[in-house]
Structure 1
């Protein structure tokens, strides 16, 4: 078995490692797993707009994948965690961003409604698995 290699997203990932002792991604062989990525900026601020928060979470996934040598084109599995249910606005934003970031493939996806996430104002968190050939 290949040795796990851990990655920290520059900016917010450094804070998470220092304060909460976890990495943002791990690569084992050709497989990359990310921790849940929220819609925060590097100061851990969450946009007021749900659509903006979802878009920022996608950008954070992209940044985190890049640290491990992967990108959205390599994503095969997505879990998305949602506070406040799944109104049409959520699926509309998610699908629009899937088509933007992954126009040539459709990964598997599980949506999960949750009571709370890691920061009190978070409404979404996205965790992915990627296979890098």
Structure 2
């Protein structure tokens, strides 16, 4: 691999550039074939409000992960490690797991689920971060 390929690239899909500019973090970072996706939450990009309930928030969070991965030249199938954070870990697992399996239907990645007392906004109930290897999936 050439040195140029190993340079760190911040990934910020167009609707998220303001987050990078104001909060000073990238939605994802790519180095070589590795991509680290920052925690994604269930906030609607149009209204900027958290969605209602764990199912809707989980879908929006996975959409955010997918958008960041696409911006890095990867896909959901390239995820090798998933970390999720839940304000009601036991109560939300059935719904979360069902939605997760819609987005990641095979080649399941490593997964760590963590119960937390709070996320960035009081209405948020789930946050998803991921690590991917570009081209490792089956798309």
TM-score above 0.5, yes or no? yes
The C-alpha deviation readout for 1:78-124, integer Å capped at 9, x for no partner, is 0001113321xx22233223322222211110001111112221111
The number of equivalent residue pairs is 130
Normalising by structure 2, we get a TM-score of: 0.86
Distance in 1, Cα, partners of 2:120 & 2:35: 22
Give 1:109's aligned residue: 111
RMSD: 1.5
Q: Which stretches of structure 1, 4 residues or more, deviate above 6 A after TM superposition?
A: none
Structure 2 unaligned segments of length 5 or more: list them: none
Confirm whether residue 22 of structure 1 aligns to residue 25 of structure 2. yes
* 8 Å CA contact retained: 2:53, 2:125: no
Return the TM-score normalized by structure 1. 0.89
From the CA coordinates, give the structure whose radius of gyration is larger: 2
Looking at structure 2, the residues matched to 51 and 100 of structure 1 have their Cα atoms a distance apart, in angstroms, of 12
Q: Give the match for residue 39 of structure 2.
A: 36
Distance 1:86 1:6 in 2: 34
Match of 1:49 in 2: 53
User: Quick one: distance in 1 between partners of 2:119 and 2:48?
Assistant: 13
